[in-house]
Amino acid sequence: MVLSTILSFILPCITFGWLYYLYKHYVMLPIEFHSDARLDGKTVVITGGSSGLGLETARNLCSRGARVIIGCRDKKKAEEALIDVKSSCKSALVSYFHLDLASLSSVRKFVQELKDSNIRVNILINNAAVVGVPYQKTIDGFEYIFGVNYLGHFLLTNLMLDLLEARARIINVSAHAHIFGHIDFDNLMMDRGFNSIVAYFNSKLAMVLFTQEISRRLDIEVACSYALHPGAIYTQLTRHFFFMRYKFLRMISDQLGKHFLKNAKQGIHTILYCALSEEIEGVSGKYFSDCKLSVPIQEALDIEIAERLWSTSEERRNSNRKRIAFFHPYCNAGGGGERVLWMAVNSIQQTYPKADITIYSGDLDATSESIIEKCKENFSITLKRPVSFVWLKSRFLVEAKCWPIFTLAGQSFGSMLLCLEALWKFTPDVYIDSMGYAFTLPIAKIIGSKVGCYVHYPTISTDMLDKVSSRKAAHNNSQLVAKSSILSSVKHSYYRLFAFLYGLAGKTSECVMVNSSWTKNHIDSLWNIDSIKVFPPVDLKRLLNMKIDNERSIVLSVAQFRPEKDHELQIKAFAKYLSFGTDTETSMMLVGSVRNQKDEERVEKLKSLANLLGVRERVEFKINASYEDLLTYFKNAAIGLHTMWNEHFGIGVVECMAAGAIALAHKSGGPKMDIVTPLNGETTGFLADTIDEYAEYISNIIRMSPENLLKIRQNARKSVERFSNENFQKDWIKATEILFV
């Protein structure tokens, strides 16, 4: 009986002991990361660095020579942490800056202190977190757990982008518990049904989504982002739970934590892996656990949720920041208008670091990541800070195919509906139309935004009215209308009414910029204003460095494949030139972007035309070429060909002139008035407007002596220095100052 009693007590103890041994040595065996990496001369910022994981991470990184800055709310704890770190590493470079993540003003002050101290950061570790606190609001009115764990870090990271060294690392400490989270945009601050544990889960899911989204918005040359689960760690994170108020329960919790969870020193290895490992150099937006790549919950990979959370976070983080929106539904088109857009965004970011920029885009087949990447590839523009995108589903309303008759009025009405969708989804402080949708301007004005616009090309012009009244057929005046006096009269009256309404809409803009003298003349006349001429930016640096005394044999055209660019005229003129029968080497290359199926069909028709004229083997098409490829084409271009009637400006003409190609442009619009103009009485290029004139000029240029060619190329280069990126940025900021005051 006694033996039985003893055994009934001893056997469970032995069993528990063995299970505990197996658990500690096999189940909870910490995965360790070992590295001899040094961080001498590098700076690390750690939030929540006064205890737990943050403190242990600070100790480790200081021992590797890093300068560590602890961001902490409690000054006393921070000072104790500094003593702790310095006692374990005598040469530690560690300091404390006050940071309260529950106060957005404190976050801004923290970043400003870093800037004032001229500190550049290599690694940012967003580690601080709270759980178990009762329902309360931050000083800015956000639910406390979500505000501290996520929103504070969201603002901190965005503000610190200007302080990051190249290829910096942003490390967001999340948790495996994110799998229980859910982002409910209708109850993001948990005003209904608050539960502190659920709020913690949601905040950790938000950190994973944030990691994914910022990786899509940042080039890896700027920074890489990582989210991680450190493991089940016993730290002071549970100090706010109700049971910690009772000494007995606190003692039990301490014992269970010490024996069944990892300690902070064991828990920092995945943080160290993300901070130091060379294996993940260039990897971004991923989630890690136990020092290896892991897979988060499916919701954490949802791009739409991540983008919406980002936009919502930007709206909530500070109502005092300038929210600037560009209405540019085709921001991924890759043309000259898009170069203006991204250079304008870049200029604003450099001049107004507190500005938050949003793009209204209808490119639903693209992602924010791919758009930014295309911006970099096509224009060599790398944005320093992320921009937000508002995706517009009704972009089809501004496409010509949607309005087979009364196209101008239909597209303008469609733009108003599209603008309403945009402003319904996001209302900015400053609204800038950068595509020429003038009828959106009064809507944004009524909503309460400051309104500006950059006009590439007037929607209607006196030239269009003249063509209709003179009954000349064109891409915007069909043969059917041109042949009928009645239809021409009706269309002329329609155009006059439209021009009147167009002028009323344009007058509502507080800042009107135009891209050329030709556009300025028309806009000033139609809108009865004095617009500001801001020449569009052209990236000239690499073009101006090209050799211009080499032999060249390509007639190059750089223009989007749109009807108004008149590629047909180019092919016909080239065929006419070849018919002279004196040239067997010169070829033609048409380089341009394709936006949609209509553009693709247009390219096929051009190929058919080249076949019909017997020159297909001498005409090459380059679709959606990268900027690097375009530079290669420029090097071999003898002639830069341009055929658009009344081109508003002509960036392609400027690029050709800078690269050493002899400009042969249409005798109208921007090329005639602003670009291919004499320099001190000397020739910079040539102008034509008929097939015969183009063919004759091509022949003359090809047969021109090397000395004369070199002289024209040198004159052209000097002339186009007016159109540099730097001049655009200076003029843009000066013109738009009224919108940001």
Residues designated as active site: 200
| CA 453/CA 506 separation, integer angstroms | 9
Closest listed residue to residue 155, CA positions, set 389, 426, 354, 368: 354
| CA 72/CA 63 separation, integer angstroms | 20
Q: Which amino acid is at 356?
A: D
| CA 190/CA 133 separation, integer angstroms | 13
Give the tokens for residue 494: 């329609």
Compute the C-alpha angle 267/214/292, nearest 5°.
35
Neighbours of 327 (CB within 10 A): 28
Question: Are 704 and 547 in contact, with CB atoms under 8 Å apart?
Answer: no
| CA 515/CA 343 separation, integer angstroms | 14
Question: Are 311 and 343 in contact, with CB atoms under 8 Å apart?
Answer: no
By CB atoms closer than 10 A (0-12, 13-18, 19+), residue 422 is buried
| CA 691/CA 693 separation, integer angstroms | 6
Element (H, E) at 550: none
| CA 686/CA 697 separation, integer angstroms | 8
| CA 432/CA 359 separation, integer angstroms | 10
Half-sphere exposure of 657 (CA within 13 A, CB side): 32
Angle, helices 104-116/152-160, rounded to nearest 10 degrees:
20
Question: Are 735 and 511 in contact, with CB atoms under 8 Å apart?
Answer: yes
Q: In 3-state terms, the chain is what percent helix, strand and coil (to 5)?
A: 50, 15, 30
State how far the alpha carbon of 646 is from the alpha carbons of 458, 665, 723, in Å: 11, 11, 19
Neighbours of 386 (CB within 10 A): 22
Question: Are 350 and 289 in contact, with CB atoms under 8 Å apart?
Answer: no
Q: What is the largest CA-CA distance in the chain?
A: 121
| CA 360/CA 364 separation, integer angstroms | 11
End-to-end CA distance of the chain: 92
Element (H, E) at 614: none
Residue 181 dihedral angles phi and psi, to the nearest 5°:
-85, 165
- For residue 429, the Cα-to-chain-centroid distance in whole angstroms is 19
| CA 523/CA 651 separation, integer angstroms | 20
Residue 277 dihedral angles phi and psi, to the nearest 5°:
-65, 135
- For residue 451, the Cα-to-chain-centroid distance in whole angstroms is 22
80 CB-near residues (< 8 Å, 6+ apart): 50
| CA 204/CA 180 separation, integer angstroms | 9
Three-state DSSP class for residue 478: coil
